[in-house]
Structure 1
Amino acid sequence: MKSRQAQLPEGWEMKKLGEVCDILDSKRKPITKRNRIAGEIPYYGATGVLSYVKDYLFDEKLVLLGEDGAKWECGDNSAFVIEGKTWVNNHAHVLRTHKEMLIEEWLVYNLNFQNLMPFVTGMTVPKLNQGSMRNIPIPIPPLPEQRAIVALLDAAFAKIDQAKANIEKNIENARELFQSKLNEVFSQRGEGWEEKTVDSISKIVNGHSFKSRDFNPNYEIKAIKITNVGIKEFVEDDSNNLPVSFLKDYSKVKISEGSIVLALTRTIISGGLKVAKVPSSYHNSLLNQRVAAIMADEAVINKDYLFYYFSSKIVYDYVLNNVNTLMQPNLSIADLRKMPVPVTTLENQLKLSSQIKKLSYQSELLIENLNRKLQNLDDLKKSLLQKAFAGELTHSAIPA
């Protein structure tokens, strides 16, 4: 604490959070979903508004800091300001700043800049308990300086957030452009085109229900589980291997490189359709339950062409219309088998796949560059915060 105190700008002092805030945790109260009466009052949890209720607990400007169910690393926005009539459950600490020395926005900026993980306990269920929270160090400049720095940060962050929103829109546009090309290709009909079903142009394999005791990271044969199937991405994992003897015993579920794998449970998640192509490192792997493999009959269908088709919105919409959504979106093998596939000549498939591959590369390159710009803007935020809490933030430190 002394070394940190020595580095503070003139007129600043270092205080523990418990010295500059009243902790109002005893006043918060959770409401189960079934007991919540709908209304217009925001009901807050660790990360923000969960719902709206009829009554309130607080009616003032306060700071909430996640106790559990939050993230606490630098930039994770674990703290935020609330105002007016509100209800807070028991997953967020409720802080009332001592107005004579600390404004709420300064506290939020500082808490979100700090890495609070050293104050978090628990491995299975991480928690920022009240005792640890009280010891979090908070640099305190004079109130006029706090307000001036917060105003600079607010203005700079508003510009950065707008720039991020523009970039995110460009990323969305790039993805939509690629999808529109896929839809254009696979919506073609007429001479040279015909519609077939998936089971007529490929071999469909339904995974086997291996026992949990069958898996061991020290075994030689890789297994393809539902966790390996991402959104147009195969997620490799060395912890789920099977004995080499299983290759003979379960040869019916042996899968080769280049096959398409599709999750049958939670086939669609918020990011899209869970479909991937098996990489060379998983050649001759064994397929686990709730995953289907589509092994193209290369006499009639090109593997890349088929994968691009499964990556299209046409397939997404087909799955969405056929999943069983009573509990979770599951696709049946029967519906997979009868899924329609537009087929043209192998020569034309190869030509179209080449065009799509080129467009995919250009799209991925553009998105990669845009994501890099997003990261640069996040880094700029951290840099501005670092200057702010070192007393070095001025108008000249903020890029135009």
Structure 2
Amino acid sequence: MTNLPQGWEIKRLDDITEIQIGKTPSRNNIDFFQGENIWLSIRDLKSKFVSFSSEKISNEAILKTNMKIVPKGTLLMSFKLTLGKTAFAGCDLYTNEAIAAIFIKDKNINKYFLDYALKFTDLEKYVDNAVKGKTLNKQKLRQIEVSMPPLKEQERIVGILDESFAKIDESIKILEQDLLNLDELMQSALQKAFNPLKDDTKGNYQLPQGWEWKSLGEIGEIITGTTPSKNNPNFYGNEYPLFKPSDLNGDMIIKFASDNLSKLGFDNARNLPKNTILIVCIGASIGKIGLSGVNGSCNQQINAVISNSTFISKYLFFVCLSNYFQEILKKNASQTTLPIINKTEFSKLQIPLPPLKEQEQIASYLDELSLNIKALKENYKIQIKDYEELKKSLLKKAFEGRL
């Protein structure tokens, strides 16, 4: 902003806008969240124009909380934790306290240009370092400075950026759909591998010759993990990984964990050999799986399956990845505040088990397919990242007066 293009000016939000902060009705009154009024949180800011919310509120909630309406077309911006996520109200609506509604009061400001200006602005420099987390308040929002050309130039730039961003977003959308298609391809391959006779009901399922239904408890040793006491620092070191749900990152082979045990800690934990199947059995990430690539241990949120030589570890990994297994796991979990399946019920879960040679063939085919899909996914993700960088580059050119 120190070298502004000719005719541009620095404007403070306080000088060109009015800012309105949303509210959250009391969670203690369930009726407040039984209405039909759109009420946005940051997770709802998914597109340029927003007219859907994951939660809706009642007229009573609006009245009792003294909430102010945000008219259709208003510029919205998140300013708590997730900074600078913007959108426009696609209808009359309300927002929570993490979203600011920005009303233009200067007739020489184009709201769509202001949207791009806020996207280009480094909002983090307005964050109070004394406050925990990336959060602004209304006072800080008012201090935000943006660079503004004359109105005609704003409109010209908006026209170019709108057209360019629309093409880029369409390309990103296609790539995101390609990623979903790859997930569907993998699940289709798993379905064919573990349900070769295409019968969806286990009661009528005719297993191929030589296959058997086996419970997890029959084919391996089931171990629920534990966490050695944090009060004893000697239990922790760098020798053995202590796997937690967050360490199961989608890769098949898991070798590293955010917490590691010393030899003493490992001796006081539940030891798991290499090629142990790890399955999260509690919480929002229930069903996440991994295959340990080293000797280690796991915490109490994970059940481990150690082979008794009747199954190939990679075969069981792919069975557990399938929709069939994921559905029976969650179906048999108790639906309390957090879904959880205990060791006893987990041990009863049944899988189709072919002879070892066929397990090897199936695992080999799925392993190769999985690697090819992973490579394609990485390629698509790189392309998406490149498109996002292109948008940043266009913004930079625009605000340097080079567009």
Distance in 1 (alpha carbons) for counterparts of 2:220 and 2:390: 50
The Cα of 1:131 is off from its aligned counterpart by 2.8
**RMSD over aligned Cα atoms:** 2.5
The change in CA–CA distance for 1:50 and 1:357 in structure 2 (over 3 A counts) is: closer
Q: 1 CA distance for matches of 2:193 and 2:43?
A: 43
Superposition deviation, residue 13 in structure 1: 1.1
Give the letter for the 2:95 counterpart: V
Sequence identity (%): 24
Q: Which amino acid aligns with 1:10?
A: Q
Match of 1:274 in 2: 288
1:23 shift after superposition:
3.0
Residue ranges of structure 2 left out of the alignment (5+ in a row) = 45-52, 197-206
Question: Which residue of 1 is the match for residue 187 of structure 2?
Answer: 179
1:51 maps to which of 43, 52, 55: 55
Please tell me whether residue 262 in structure 1 is matched to residue 256 in structure 2: no
Matches of 1:203 and 1:367, distance apart in 2: 34
Between the aligned partners of 2:90 and 2:379, the Cα distance in structure 1 is 39
Q: TM-score, normalised by structure 1?
A: 0.84
Structure 2 residue aligned with 1:67? 79
- Inter-partner Cα distance in structure 2 for 1:336 and 1:29: 43
2:263 — aligned with what?
Answer: 244
Contact 2:251 2:290 in 1 (8 A): yes
Q: Distance in 2 between matches of 1:310 and 1:47?
A: 30
* 1:237 partner SS: coil
Unaligned runs of 5+ in 1: 394-400
Q: Which amino acid aligns with 1:241?
A: N
Cα 1:123–1:361 change in 2 (3 A) is farther
Determine if contact 1:183/1:312 at 8 Å carries over to the other structure.
Answer: yes
Alignment TM-score, normalising by the size of structure 2: 0.84
Aligned to 1:162: 170
Q: Which amino acid aligns with 2:300?
A: Q
Q: Answer yes or no: is the 8 Å Cα contact 1:214–1:242 preserved in 2.
A: no
Q: CA deviation at 1:209?
A: 4.9
For residues 128-143 of structure 1, the aligned pairs below 5 Å read 128-143=136-151
Structure 2 counterpart of 1:88, from 84, 95, 116: 95
Looking at structure 2, the residues matched to 141 and 320 of structure 1 have their Cα atoms a distance apart, in angstroms, of 56
Range moving further from structure 2, 177-186 or 146-155: 146-155
Counterpart residue identity of residue 201, structure 1: I
1:224 to 222, 228, 243: 243
Question: Which string of whole-angstrom CA distances, capped at 9 and with x for unpartnered residues, describes residues 23-81 of structure 1?
Answer: 344xx54322426265544223455445334356235443333232x422xxxx52333
Please, which of 19, 25, 29 is the counterpart of residue 23 of structure 1?
19
What's the CA shift string for 1:128-183, capped at 9, x where partnerless? 12333223221111112112211222222222222111111111111111111111
Alpha carbons 1:9, 1:391 under 8 Å: kept: yes
SS at match of 1:254: coil
Is 1:9 the counterpart of 2:19? The answer is: no
Q: Secondary structure at the match of 2:340?
A: coil
Structure 2 distance, partners of 1:167, 1:370, is 6
Match of 2:370 among 330, 351, 360: 360
Do the aligned partners of residues 339 and 83 (structure 1) sit closer, same or farther apart at CA in structure 2, a change above 3 Å counting? closer
1:297 maps to 2:314: no
Match of 1:118 in 2: 125
Distance 1:214-1:187 versus aligned 2 partners, 3 A rule: farther
Could you tell me how far apart the structure 1 residues matched to 2:9 and 2:69 are?
A: 30
